[in-house]
Structure 1
Amino acid sequence: MTTMDTGPHWRHARGDIPFAIINYAGFLLFALVCGYPFYYLIINSVSANDISALGDVRLLPVGLHLSNYEQILGLPGLTSSLLVSIARTVIGTGATVLASAFLGFMFTQERLQNRSLWYRLVIFTMYFNAGLIPVYVTIHTLGLTNNFWVYILPAIVQPFNIILVKTYVESLPQSLQEAAELDGAGIVTIFFRIMLPNMTPILATVAIFSAVAQWNSFQDTLLYVTDQRLYPLQYTLYTYLNQANSLAQAAQNAQGNLGAIVSAATTQTPTSIRMTVAVIVVLPIIFVYPLFQRYFVKGIMLGAVKG
């Protein structure tokens, strides 16, 4: 006949229950506080515009409709801007990840001549730069103004990403590379066939950093691009965001007096434009991040501490 264990382990487990409840409740509250601003944007972008403009939509959408998205997505130039943003995010992220992986790997190779010097020069650029005007002159001299590649080339080498990859590679067993060298593999073969497949966690971390930066960037457009065909989505929406009042007035005038009376709930207001634009800007990253999230913590931890 068995008896219930009432020893120290049972008492310890029972004592942990209040802590677990408080712990989960605290994290749940923190998650709600972090997530509510995004939820607030979404419910206001799909609620009746006249009610949303008064600030009366807080917990649940009121007068649900999707006309805001139909009108915003129908604005001229938005489709081409979306394609530019997707292209710069995909190409820029791929180039940055590959460059960070290769340079981070090479800076761990003792055979690299003047390795410490090159590494210090790369790190130096994290803290010092020539300034806005010299950088603009360099970009202009290279013929990158009003050029799609101005979004890609200056952002390929990121010192912080190289540090993460280098530290991560140093944490991998040295025997992997030594075994490949004994089999006659060269440095390029070792990188692509041995090291690169083992860098998945840290490269996913670098990919998140790069993709978010590329998707959200519009300051480079402000400085180097005047051709509207090269405007990314962020810059186009930023322009529309600054013109929210005039766009709302134009939408009301286009509908006419009778239309404004009949469809007051769907008539664009500055608030509805701002909310809808903010959702369009943020939503893609919200969907992409969970795909890499499982690698993120592991990559940061292993890339930050050697051993």
Structure 2
Amino acid sequence: MSDKAAGLAVNNVHTNNKHSSITEILISALIYTLYTLFALLCIFPFYSIIINTISANDLSARGEIVFYPQQIHFQNYLDVFKIPGLWNAAVVSLGRTLIGTSLTVGASAFLGFMFSQEDMWGRKFWYRFTIITMFFNAGIIPWYLTMRSLHLTNHFLAYILPTIVAPFFIILVKTFVESTPKELQQAASIDGAGIMTIFFKVILPISKPILATVAIFAAVDQWNSFQDTLLLVTDSKLYSLQFILYNYINQASSLSTMVNLQNAGSTAMATLATKQTTTSIRMTVTIIVVAPILLVYPLFQRFFVKGIMIGAVKG
């Protein structure tokens, strides 16, 4: 009886393991299916815009391009690149993104490090004074009056100076620094290193994940910003690419007419397939503006998850 009972027990274990394996496979398949559908839902809007920019403009305008491109051409991009001020706006956006992101990352790294130092004079006051600006502000009109009094209207520095000190980024860096071993700073201090030496030679080298995370956030904010241009800039030489997009989306109909007139003598504009429409202008400019961020983001993605998790959880 004991041998028979042992055999039944073994069979039951194998049966349970088999059922468990099947259940796990089904659950995994369901999870992968849901995530795949979610990913497709996220990707599809970008895919839809891209195929509409390279398809026949008359079909795109009528909403007939849904899942795959038809009558593929690239005239839209050639025409949009002829839009007055586009290249200058691209240079302005690139400049503000590179300079603004660099200064924001540098300021966030240094202030986050300093606010983690217990012997800093007035540390709690200055930290709270900085953080409170996340929750309270005077509003757009006082902000505009302040910027005007500082002579930052129609000035490139209007894109840079207001974004250097970013409380949220400072919190991320401060939390990250506090999660690193204190012994590193103590050992450097015993060896005679000053506060700046500790910052540059100890903290910065081990802070690459969180700084990459801050760089992503800051770069996206700078690249996508257009409200500061709308409120502070009237000089077309200082227009950002996003502001150009904002204007062209609002004026796509007149812009398409202008582009068509410019190309009236070109054989490339002889068919409805390549004749500019409001839809083609809007979608093509959208891709041109969004593409740089889509290309750069994957390069920093490996730092992003690690940085945001370490910077958000202490310990």
CA deviation after TM superposition for structure 1 residue 258, in Å: 10
Whether contact under 8 Å (2:260, 2:269) holds in the other structure is no
Partner amino acid, structure 2, of 1:202: I
Max radius of gyration: which structure? 2
Gaps of 5+ in 2: 1-12
**Correspondence 1:135 to 2:143:** yes
Gaps of 5+ in 1: none
CA deviation after TM superposition for structure 1 residue 14, in Å: 4.1
Whether contact under 8 Å (2:53, 2:76) holds in the other structure is yes
119, 125, 130: which is aligned to 1:122?
130
2:229 is aligned to 221
CA gap 1:11/1:180 in 2 versus in 1, 3 angstroms: farther
Whether contact under 8 Å (1:252, 1:260) holds in the other structure is no
CA gap 1:8/1:306 in 2 versus in 1, 3 angstroms: farther
Whether contact under 8 Å (2:93, 2:223) holds in the other structure is yes
125, 147, 162: which is aligned to 2:170?
162
Within 5 A, what are the aligned runs for 1:63-212?
Answer: 63-212=71-220
Residue deviations 1:18-65 (CA, integer Å, cap 9, x gap) = 111111111101000011000000000110000000101011111111
CA deviation after TM superposition for structure 1 residue 262, in Å: 3.2
Partner amino acid, structure 1, of 2:50: I
Within 5 A, what are the aligned runs for 1:214-293?
Answer: 214-256=222-264, 262-293=270-301
- Secondary structure of 1:175's partner? helix
* Separation in structure 1 between the aligned mates of residue 64 and residue 260 of structure 2, nearest angstrom: 21
Aligned residues: 303
Relative to structure 2, which stretch is displaced further, 10-19 or 20-29? 10-19
CA deviation after TM superposition for structure 1 residue 298, in Å: 1.2
* Separation in structure 1 between the aligned mates of residue 150 and residue 193 of structure 2, nearest angstrom: 37
CA gap 1:9/1:110 in 2 versus in 1, 3 angstroms: farther
Cα RMSD, aligned residues only: 1.8
Whether contact under 8 Å (2:51, 2:69) holds in the other structure is yes
Partner amino acid, structure 1, of 2:281: I
1:304 is aligned to 312
Relative to structure 2, which stretch is displaced further, 247-256 or 189-198? 247-256
* Separation in structure 1 between the aligned mates of residue 120 and residue 15 of structure 2, nearest angstrom: 61
